[in-house]
Protein backbone atom coordinates (compact mmCIF):
# COMPACT_ATOMS: atom_id res chain seq x y z
CA UNK A 1 0.00 0.00 0.00
CA UNK A 2 1.30 3.41 -0.94
CA UNK A 3 2.23 5.87 1.81
CA UNK A 4 1.40 9.53 1.33
CA UNK A 5 3.42 12.59 2.26
CA UNK A 6 2.76 16.31 2.29
CA UNK A 7 5.61 17.93 0.38
CA UNK A 8 4.32 21.48 0.24
CA UNK A 9 1.71 23.73 1.82
CA UNK A 10 0.71 27.36 1.44
CA UNK A 11 -2.12 29.75 1.97
CA UNK A 12 -3.21 33.35 1.67
CA UNK A 13 -3.73 35.56 4.64
CA UNK A 14 -7.28 35.14 5.93
CA UNK A 15 -9.47 38.18 6.25
CA UNK A 16 -10.91 40.76 3.87
CA UNK A 17 -9.05 39.94 0.70
CA UNK A 18 -8.50 42.50 -2.02
CA UNK A 19 -8.12 39.77 -4.63
CA UNK A 20 -10.91 37.87 -6.29
CA UNK A 21 -11.21 34.12 -6.53
CA UNK A 22 -8.58 33.49 -9.18
CA UNK A 23 -6.06 35.78 -7.48
CA UNK A 24 -6.53 34.20 -4.05
CA UNK A 25 -6.27 30.66 -5.35
CA UNK A 26 -3.20 31.46 -7.46
CA UNK A 27 -1.52 32.99 -4.41
CA UNK A 28 -2.19 29.95 -2.24
CA UNK A 29 -1.06 27.55 -4.95
CA UNK A 30 2.11 29.54 -5.64
CA UNK A 31 2.93 29.57 -1.93
CA UNK A 32 2.42 25.84 -1.76
CA UNK A 33 4.55 25.15 -4.84
CA UNK A 34 7.36 27.38 -3.54
CA UNK A 35 7.34 25.62 -0.16
CA UNK A 36 8.41 22.33 -1.75
CA UNK A 37 12.09 21.86 -1.01
CA UNK A 38 13.34 21.05 -4.50
CA UNK A 39 12.64 20.15 -8.14
CA UNK A 40 8.94 20.84 -8.09
CA UNK A 41 7.05 21.95 -11.16
CA UNK A 42 3.24 22.10 -11.42
CA UNK A 43 3.42 19.86 -14.47
CA UNK A 44 4.01 16.99 -12.04
CA UNK A 45 0.50 17.34 -10.62
CA UNK A 46 -1.88 14.55 -11.64
CA UNK A 47 -5.15 15.56 -9.93
CA UNK A 48 -6.60 18.48 -8.02
CA UNK A 49 -9.37 18.52 -5.41
CA UNK A 50 -10.56 22.00 -4.46
CA UNK A 51 -13.00 22.52 -1.64
CA UNK A 52 -15.50 25.37 -1.55
CA UNK A 53 -19.05 25.94 -0.39
CA UNK A 54 -19.34 28.22 -3.41
CA UNK A 55 -17.96 31.66 -2.56
CA UNK A 56 -21.16 33.62 -2.63
CA UNK A 57 -22.61 31.85 -5.61
CA UNK A 58 -20.49 33.56 -8.24
CA UNK A 59 -19.02 30.37 -9.67
CA UNK A 60 -21.08 27.36 -8.72
CA UNK A 61 -20.30 25.33 -11.79
CA UNK A 62 -16.84 24.21 -12.94
CA UNK A 63 -15.13 26.03 -10.10
CA UNK A 64 -12.10 23.77 -10.07
CA UNK A 65 -11.55 24.04 -13.81
CA UNK A 66 -11.59 27.84 -13.58
CA UNK A 67 -9.13 27.97 -10.71
CA UNK A 68 -6.68 25.37 -11.97
CA UNK A 69 -6.38 26.93 -15.39
CA UNK A 70 -5.15 30.07 -13.64
CA UNK A 71 -2.62 28.19 -11.54
CA UNK A 72 -0.60 26.13 -14.00
CA UNK A 73 -2.75 23.03 -13.66
CA UNK A 74 -4.78 23.20 -16.85
CA UNK A 75 -5.71 19.90 -18.44
CA UNK A 76 -5.52 17.61 -15.41
CA UNK A 77 -8.39 15.87 -13.63
CA UNK A 78 -10.04 18.43 -11.31
CA UNK A 79 -13.22 18.81 -9.28
CA UNK A 80 -14.89 20.94 -6.61
CA UNK A 81 -15.49 19.16 -3.33
CA UNK A 82 -18.35 20.35 -1.15
CA UNK A 83 -19.16 19.33 2.41
CA UNK A 84 -19.92 22.76 3.81
CA UNK A 85 -17.11 23.91 6.14
CA UNK A 86 -15.45 20.49 5.78
CA UNK A 87 -15.06 20.88 2.04
CA UNK A 88 -11.28 21.03 1.92
CA UNK A 89 -10.88 18.50 4.73
CA UNK A 90 -12.64 16.10 2.40
CA UNK A 91 -10.63 17.41 -0.54
CA UNK A 92 -7.54 16.41 1.43
CA UNK A 93 -9.00 12.97 2.10
CA UNK A 94 -9.90 12.52 -1.55
CA UNK A 95 -6.37 13.52 -2.57
CA UNK A 96 -4.94 11.02 -0.09
CA UNK A 97 -7.21 8.31 -1.46
CA UNK A 98 -6.22 9.10 -5.04
CA UNK A 99 -2.57 8.47 -4.18
CA UNK A 100 -3.33 5.46 -1.96
CA UNK A 101 -5.23 3.89 -4.83
CA UNK A 102 -2.16 4.06 -7.02
CA UNK A 103 -3.92 6.19 -9.63
CA UNK A 104 -1.93 9.35 -8.94
CA UNK A 105 1.56 10.25 -7.72
CA UNK A 106 1.29 13.98 -7.03
CA UNK A 107 -2.01 15.58 -6.07
CA UNK A 108 -3.11 19.04 -4.98
CA UNK A 109 -5.77 19.49 -2.31
CA UNK A 110 -7.01 22.92 -1.37
CA UNK A 111 -9.87 25.18 -0.64
CA UNK A 112 -11.13 28.68 -1.18
CA UNK A 113 -13.90 30.95 -0.04
CA UNK A 114 -14.72 34.57 -0.66
CA UNK A 115 -17.53 36.08 1.37
CA UNK A 116 -16.57 39.64 2.28
CA UNK A 117 -17.46 41.14 -1.07
CA UNK A 118 -21.14 40.25 -0.48
CA UNK A 119 -23.92 42.36 0.98
CA UNK A 120 -24.75 41.43 4.60
CA UNK A 121 -27.98 39.78 3.41
CA UNK A 122 -26.29 37.61 0.81
CA UNK A 123 -23.56 36.74 3.27
CA UNK A 124 -26.15 35.62 5.83
CA UNK A 125 -27.77 33.44 3.20
CA UNK A 126 -24.56 31.67 2.26
CA UNK A 127 -23.51 31.30 5.85
CA UNK A 128 -26.77 29.57 6.66
CA UNK A 129 -27.17 27.18 3.74
CA UNK A 130 -25.48 24.18 5.28
CA UNK A 131 -28.04 23.32 7.92
CA UNK A 132 -31.38 21.67 7.20
CA UNK A 133 -33.03 24.52 5.31
CA UNK A 134 -36.56 23.21 5.57
CA UNK A 135 -36.63 22.24 9.23
CA UNK A 136 -33.86 24.25 10.92
CA UNK A 137 -33.41 27.45 8.95
CA UNK A 138 -37.15 28.07 8.81
CA UNK A 139 -37.22 27.60 12.58
CA UNK A 140 -34.95 30.63 12.79
CA UNK A 141 -31.61 28.86 12.94
CA UNK A 142 -28.36 29.91 11.39
CA UNK A 143 -25.23 28.28 12.77
CA UNK A 144 -24.78 30.66 15.72
CA UNK A 145 -28.25 29.57 16.81
CA UNK A 146 -27.56 25.89 16.22
CA UNK A 147 -24.38 25.94 18.24
CA UNK A 148 -26.06 28.08 20.90
CA UNK A 149 -28.61 25.30 21.39
CA UNK A 150 -25.74 22.84 21.78
CA UNK A 151 -23.94 25.09 24.27
CA UNK A 152 -26.96 25.66 26.47
CA UNK A 153 -27.75 21.97 26.51
CA UNK A 154 -24.12 21.17 27.38
CA UNK A 155 -24.18 23.56 30.34
CA UNK A 156 -27.39 21.85 31.49
CA UNK A 157 -25.98 18.31 31.23
CA UNK A 158 -22.48 18.87 32.59
CA UNK A 159 -20.44 20.96 34.99
CA UNK A 160 -19.75 23.84 32.66
CA UNK A 161 -20.67 27.47 32.13
CA UNK A 162 -20.10 30.14 29.55
CA UNK A 163 -16.86 31.04 31.32
CA UNK A 164 -15.35 27.83 29.92
CA UNK A 165 -16.11 29.06 26.41
CA UNK A 166 -14.59 32.43 27.25
CA UNK A 167 -11.36 30.67 28.20
CA UNK A 168 -11.29 29.03 24.78
CA UNK A 169 -11.79 32.35 23.04
CA UNK A 170 -9.02 34.02 25.04
CA UNK A 171 -6.64 31.11 24.37
CA UNK A 172 -7.23 31.09 20.64
CA UNK A 173 -6.80 34.83 20.32
CA UNK A 174 -3.55 34.51 22.24
CA UNK A 175 -2.40 31.72 19.90
CA UNK A 176 -3.30 33.71 16.79
CA UNK A 177 -1.68 36.93 17.89
CA UNK A 178 1.64 36.20 16.15
CA UNK A 179 0.22 34.24 13.22
CA UNK A 180 0.95 36.38 10.16
CA UNK A 181 -1.90 34.69 8.26
CA UNK A 182 -4.55 35.20 10.94
CA UNK A 183 -7.63 37.35 10.31
CA UNK A 184 -7.92 38.63 13.88
CA UNK A 185 -4.55 39.27 15.48
CA UNK A 186 -5.33 40.74 18.84
CA UNK A 187 -5.32 39.61 22.41
CA UNK A 188 -8.72 39.55 24.00
CA UNK A 189 -9.19 39.82 27.75
CA UNK A 190 -11.44 37.47 29.67
CA UNK A 191 -13.81 40.29 30.59
CA UNK A 192 -14.06 41.59 27.05
CA UNK A 193 -14.79 38.11 25.68
CA UNK A 194 -17.31 37.40 28.43
CA UNK A 195 -19.27 40.59 27.92
CA UNK A 196 -19.34 40.79 24.15
CA UNK A 197 -22.41 41.51 22.05
CA UNK A 198 -24.91 38.65 22.28
CA UNK A 199 -25.24 37.00 18.87
CA UNK A 200 -27.25 33.92 19.83
CA UNK A 201 -27.79 33.51 23.54
CA UNK A 202 -25.55 32.31 25.22
CA UNK A 203 -22.96 32.84 22.47
CA UNK A 204 -21.45 36.31 22.19
CA UNK A 205 -19.42 37.83 19.39
CA UNK A 206 -16.26 36.39 21.00
CA UNK A 207 -17.66 32.89 20.82
CA UNK A 208 -18.08 33.13 17.05
CA UNK A 209 -15.46 32.91 14.33
CA UNK A 210 -15.25 35.76 11.84
CA UNK A 211 -16.34 35.58 8.22
CA UNK A 212 -13.10 35.39 6.28
CA UNK A 213 -11.87 35.30 2.71
CA UNK A 214 -8.99 32.93 2.08
CA UNK A 215 -7.43 30.10 0.15
CA UNK A 216 -5.15 27.22 1.12
CA UNK A 217 -3.32 24.55 -0.80
CA UNK A 218 -1.29 21.43 0.02
CA UNK A 219 0.73 19.22 -2.31
CA UNK A 220 0.71 15.49 -1.63
CA UNK A 221 3.05 12.91 -3.09
CA UNK A 222 3.32 9.13 -3.16
CA UNK A 223 6.18 7.54 -1.23
CA UNK A 224 7.98 6.36 -4.40
CA UNK A 225 8.33 9.94 -5.73
CA UNK A 226 8.73 11.89 -2.47
CA UNK A 227 12.52 11.93 -2.49
CA UNK A 228 12.53 13.81 -5.77
CA UNK A 229 11.10 16.76 -3.91
CA UNK A 230 12.28 16.61 -0.33
CA UNK A 231 14.41 14.70 2.14
CA UNK A 232 12.13 15.80 4.95
CA UNK A 233 8.53 15.01 4.08
CA UNK A 234 5.66 15.21 6.49
CA UNK A 235 3.73 11.95 6.37
CA UNK A 236 -0.04 11.85 6.21
CA UNK A 237 -0.37 8.86 8.48
CA UNK A 238 -4.11 8.41 8.36
CA UNK A 239 -7.47 9.78 7.32
CA UNK A 240 -10.84 9.20 8.93
CA UNK A 241 -14.19 10.56 7.82
CA UNK A 242 -17.85 10.15 8.69
CA UNK A 243 -21.27 11.75 8.44
CA UNK A 244 -24.28 12.15 10.69
CA UNK A 245 -27.86 13.45 10.52
CA UNK A 246 -27.86 16.95 9.12
CA UNK A 247 -30.45 18.35 11.53
CA UNK A 248 -29.76 18.53 15.26
CA UNK A 249 -33.20 17.19 16.13
CA UNK A 250 -32.53 13.91 14.34
CA UNK A 251 -29.48 13.12 16.51
CA UNK A 252 -29.70 11.23 19.82
CA UNK A 253 -27.49 13.85 21.50
CA UNK A 254 -26.62 17.45 20.71
CA UNK A 255 -23.68 17.61 23.10
CA UNK A 256 -21.37 15.40 21.10
CA UNK A 257 -20.61 15.00 17.41
CA UNK A 258 -20.82 11.34 16.41
CA UNK A 259 -19.24 12.12 13.05
CA UNK A 260 -16.13 13.42 14.85
CA UNK A 261 -15.98 10.39 17.12
CA UNK A 262 -16.25 7.97 14.19
CA UNK A 263 -13.77 9.83 12.00
CA UNK A 264 -11.27 10.11 14.85
CA UNK A 265 -11.60 6.45 15.74
CA UNK A 266 -10.77 5.49 12.17
CA UNK A 267 -7.84 7.90 12.00
CA UNK A 268 -6.34 6.77 15.31
CA UNK A 269 -6.75 3.11 14.44
CA UNK A 270 -5.25 3.47 10.98
CA UNK A 271 -2.22 5.33 12.38
CA UNK A 272 -1.85 2.99 15.33
CA UNK A 273 -2.08 5.96 17.69
CA UNK A 274 -4.27 7.26 20.48
CA UNK A 275 -5.10 10.77 21.77
CA UNK A 276 -2.12 10.85 24.13
CA UNK A 277 0.18 10.67 21.11
CA UNK A 278 -1.08 13.88 19.55
CA UNK A 279 1.16 16.90 20.18
CA UNK A 280 -0.93 19.50 18.43
CA UNK A 281 -4.39 19.57 16.92
CA UNK A 282 -6.07 22.09 14.68
CA UNK A 283 -9.72 21.56 15.61
CA UNK A 284 -12.86 23.05 14.16
CA UNK A 285 -13.75 25.90 16.52
CA UNK A 286 -16.31 27.67 14.35
CA UNK A 287 -17.78 28.51 17.73
CA UNK A 288 -16.06 28.09 21.09
CA UNK A 289 -18.51 25.36 22.08
CA UNK A 290 -17.41 23.44 19.00
CA UNK A 291 -13.83 23.31 20.33
CA UNK A 292 -15.05 22.24 23.77
CA UNK A 293 -17.03 19.35 22.24
CA UNK A 294 -14.12 18.49 19.94
CA UNK A 295 -11.72 18.04 22.86
CA UNK A 296 -14.06 15.35 24.17
CA UNK A 297 -14.96 13.79 20.83
CA UNK A 298 -11.29 13.52 19.83
CA UNK A 299 -10.41 11.95 23.16
CA UNK A 300 -8.34 14.75 24.69
CA UNK A 301 -10.86 15.07 27.52
CA UNK A 302 -13.37 12.60 28.92
CA UNK A 303 -17.07 13.02 28.18
CA UNK A 304 -18.37 15.94 30.21
CA UNK A 305 -14.85 17.16 31.05
CA UNK A 306 -14.38 19.53 28.13
CA UNK A 307 -15.32 22.48 30.27
CA UNK A 308 -12.73 21.57 32.88
CA UNK A 309 -10.13 21.04 30.13
CA UNK A 310 -10.74 24.59 28.90
CA UNK A 311 -10.89 26.04 32.41
CA UNK A 312 -7.52 24.54 33.27
CA UNK A 313 -5.95 25.79 30.04
CA UNK A 314 -4.84 22.30 29.05
CA UNK A 315 -4.85 23.19 25.35
CA UNK A 316 -2.58 26.20 25.67
CA UNK A 317 0.59 26.21 23.64
CA UNK A 318 3.51 24.50 25.39
CA UNK A 319 1.57 24.19 28.66
CA UNK A 320 -0.44 20.99 28.38
CA UNK A 321 -0.01 17.62 26.72
CA UNK A 322 -1.62 18.78 23.50
CA UNK A 323 -1.79 22.23 21.96
CA UNK A 324 -5.28 22.90 20.63
CA UNK A 325 -5.38 25.33 17.73
CA UNK A 326 -1.85 26.69 17.69
CA UNK A 327 -2.81 28.82 14.66
CA UNK A 328 -5.46 30.62 16.66
CA UNK A 329 -8.12 28.31 15.28
CA UNK A 330 -11.09 29.42 13.29
CA UNK A 331 -11.77 31.93 16.06
CA UNK A 332 -8.64 33.99 15.46
CA UNK A 333 -7.07 32.69 12.27
CA UNK A 334 -10.44 32.87 10.55
CA UNK A 335 -12.85 30.62 8.71
CA UNK A 336 -13.02 30.91 4.95
CA UNK A 337 -15.46 28.04 4.85
CA UNK A 338 -14.14 25.82 2.08
CA UNK A 339 -10.48 26.68 2.72
CA UNK A 340 -10.41 25.85 6.41
CA UNK A 341 -9.64 22.12 6.22
CA UNK A 342 -6.48 22.37 4.12
CA UNK A 343 -5.62 25.59 5.97
CA UNK A 344 -5.43 23.47 9.12
CA UNK A 345 -3.10 21.10 7.25
CA UNK A 346 -0.90 24.06 6.26
CA UNK A 347 -0.53 24.96 9.94
CA UNK A 348 0.32 21.40 10.96
CA UNK A 349 2.84 21.17 8.10
CA UNK A 350 4.60 24.33 9.22
CA UNK A 351 4.50 23.49 12.92
CA UNK A 352 5.94 20.01 12.49
CA UNK A 353 8.58 21.25 10.07
CA UNK A 354 9.41 24.11 12.43
CA UNK A 355 8.81 26.89 9.91
CA UNK A 356 6.20 28.92 11.84
CA UNK A 357 7.08 32.12 13.68
CA UNK A 358 9.32 31.13 16.59
CA UNK A 359 7.06 32.90 19.08
CA UNK A 360 4.27 30.45 18.38
CA UNK A 361 6.13 27.22 17.71
CA UNK A 362 4.83 24.17 19.57
CA UNK A 363 8.05 22.70 20.92
CA UNK A 364 9.07 19.10 20.22
CA UNK A 365 5.94 18.32 18.24
CA UNK A 366 6.12 15.11 16.24
CA UNK A 367 2.47 14.21 15.62
CA UNK A 368 -0.26 16.61 14.52
CA UNK A 369 -3.95 16.32 13.82
CA UNK A 370 -6.53 18.23 11.83
CA UNK A 371 -10.25 18.08 12.58
CA UNK A 372 -12.62 19.67 10.06
CA UNK A 373 -16.40 19.68 10.51
CA UNK A 374 -19.18 20.46 8.06
CA UNK A 375 -22.00 22.56 9.43
CA UNK A 376 -23.12 21.45 12.87
CA UNK A 377 -21.53 18.03 12.49
CA UNK A 378 -23.14 16.42 9.46
CA UNK A 379 -19.69 15.68 8.07
CA UNK A 380 -16.23 15.39 9.59
CA UNK A 381 -12.74 14.60 8.35
CA UNK A 382 -9.84 13.88 10.70
CA UNK A 383 -6.24 13.55 9.55
CA UNK A 384 -3.09 12.62 11.47
CA UNK A 385 0.39 13.71 10.34
CA UNK A 386 3.80 12.67 11.56
CA UNK A 387 7.48 13.40 11.10
CA UNK A 388 8.15 9.68 10.86
CA UNK A 389 6.66 7.49 8.17
CA UNK A 390 5.50 4.91 10.68
CA UNK A 391 4.53 6.53 13.94
Partner 1 sequence: MLEYSNWQGYMVSFDSESFHIFSSWQLQSIPVFGPDSDYTTLAISLVNLMHSKGVDIDNVSYNQSDIDLEVLKIAAGIDIQSDDGEWNLICHDDASLSITKSLDVNVSKPDGLSEIDPELYHQINQAWEKESSIENVSQGAYISSQQYNESLSSRLKLLAQFDHKTIWPPRQLNDDGTPINHPEVQLSRTCKIESWTKLSAAGAPSEFSIRAPILDGISTVYVLFEEGNRGVFLLTDDQNKKPEIGLSGEIVVRKIYSQEGEIRYGTKVQLI
Stretch that binds partner 1, among 138-146, 292-300, 314-322, 365-373 (CB under 8 A): 138-146
Binding partner 1 (rule: CB under 8 A), the pick from 82, 105, 113, 136 is: 136
Binding partner 1 (rule: CB under 8 A), the pick from 39, 102, 198, 302 is: 198
Binding partner 1 (rule: CB under 8 A), the pick from 1, 61, 119, 390 is: 119
94 binds partner 1 (CB under 8 A): no
Q: 33 or 143: whose CB is closer to partner 1?
A: 143
The H or E element spanning position 115 is: none
> 10 Å Cβ neighbour count for 120?
8
Q: What distance in Å separates the CA atoms of residue 368 and residue 63, rounded to the nearest whole number? A: 30
Q: How far is the CB of 155 from partner 1 (least distance, A)?
A: 9
Stretch that binds partner 1, among 94-102, 113-121, 179-187, 219-227 (CB under 8 A): 113-121
Q: 254 or 367: whose CB is closer to partner 1?
A: 254
Q: What distance in Å separates the CA atoms of residue 25 and residue 11, rounded to the nearest whole number? A: 8
257 binds partner 1 (CB under 8 A): no
Q: How far is the CB of 211 from partner 1 (least distance, A)?
A: 12
Cβ atoms of 33 and 229 closer than 8 Å: no
Active site residue 85: yes
Binding partner 1 (rule: CB under 8 A), the pick from 142, 230, 344, 376 is: 142
Q: What distance in Å separates the CA atoms of residue 171 and residue 315, rounded to the nearest whole number? A: 8
75 binds partner 1 (CB under 8 A): no
97 binds partner 1 (CB under 8 A): no
SS3 77: strand
Active site residue 335: yes
Stretch that binds partner 1, among 17-25, 139-147, 300-308, 335-343 (CB under 8 A): 139-147
Chain CA centroid to CA 96, Å: 16
Summarize the chain as % helix, strand, coil (round to 5). 40, 20, 40
For residues 200-217, one letter each, b for 16 or more C-beta atoms within 10 angstroms of the residue's C-beta and e for the rest, the string is beebbebbbbbbbbbbbb
Binding partner 1 (rule: CB under 8 A), the pick from 67, 200, 281, 324 is: 200
Sheet with strand 379-386: strands edge to edge: 77-81, 47-51, 106-113, 214-222, 4-11, 234-243, 379-386, 367-374, 280-282, 323-324
337 binds partner 1 (CB under 8 A): no
243 binds partner 1 (CB under 8 A): no
Catalytic residue selected from 17, 85, 162, 286: 85
Binding partner 1 (rule: CB under 8 A), the pick from 36, 81, 141, 246 is: 141
Count of residues in contact with partner 1, rule CB under 8 A? 38
128 binds partner 1 (CB under 8 A): yes
Binding partner 1 (rule: CB under 8 A), the pick from 70, 137, 265, 311 is: 137
Stretch that binds partner 1, among 35-43, 95-103, 122-130, 167-175 (CB under 8 A): 122-130
Q: 82 or 136: whose CB is closer to partner 1?
A: 136
Q: 186 or 249: whose CB is closer to partner 1?
A: 249
Q: What distance in Å separates the CA atoms of residue 230 and residue 232, rounded to the nearest whole number? A: 5
129 binds partner 1 (CB under 8 A): yes
224 binds partner 1 (CB under 8 A): no
Chain CA centroid to CA 331, Å: 11
Catalytic residue selected from 175, 284, 335, 383: 335
Q: What distance in Å separates the CA atoms of residue 370 and residue 182, rounded to the nearest whole number? A: 17
Q: How far is the CB of 250 from partner 1 (least distance, A)?
A: 8
- What letter does residue 78 receive in the DSSP assignment? E
Q: What distance in Å separates the CA atoms of residue 118 and residue 150, rounded to the nearest whole number? A: 29
161 binds partner 1 (CB under 8 A): no
Chain length of the chain: 391
Beta strand residue intervals within the chain, DSSP E:
4-11, 47-51, 77-81, 106-113, 198-200, 203-204, 214-222, 234-243, 280-282, 323-324, 367-374, 379-386
Nearest to 367 by CA among 308, 284, 300: 300
61 binds partner 1 (CB under 8 A): no
Binding site for partner 1 (CB under 8 A): 119-122, 124-125, 128-129, 133-142, 144-145, 148-150, 152-153, 156, 197-203, 247-250, 254
The residues that are catalytic are: 85, 335
Amino acid sequence: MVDVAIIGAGQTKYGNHASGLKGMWAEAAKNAFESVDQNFHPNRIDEAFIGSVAFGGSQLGNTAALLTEHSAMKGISVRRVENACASSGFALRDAWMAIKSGQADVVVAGGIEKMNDLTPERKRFWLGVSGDTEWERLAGLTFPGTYALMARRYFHEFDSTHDDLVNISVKNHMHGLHNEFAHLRKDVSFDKAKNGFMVADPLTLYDCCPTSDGASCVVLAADHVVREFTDDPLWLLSSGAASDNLALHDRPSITQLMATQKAAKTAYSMAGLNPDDIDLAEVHDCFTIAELLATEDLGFAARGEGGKFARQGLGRRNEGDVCINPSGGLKSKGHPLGATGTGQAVEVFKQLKGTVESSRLVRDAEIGMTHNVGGSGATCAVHIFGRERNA
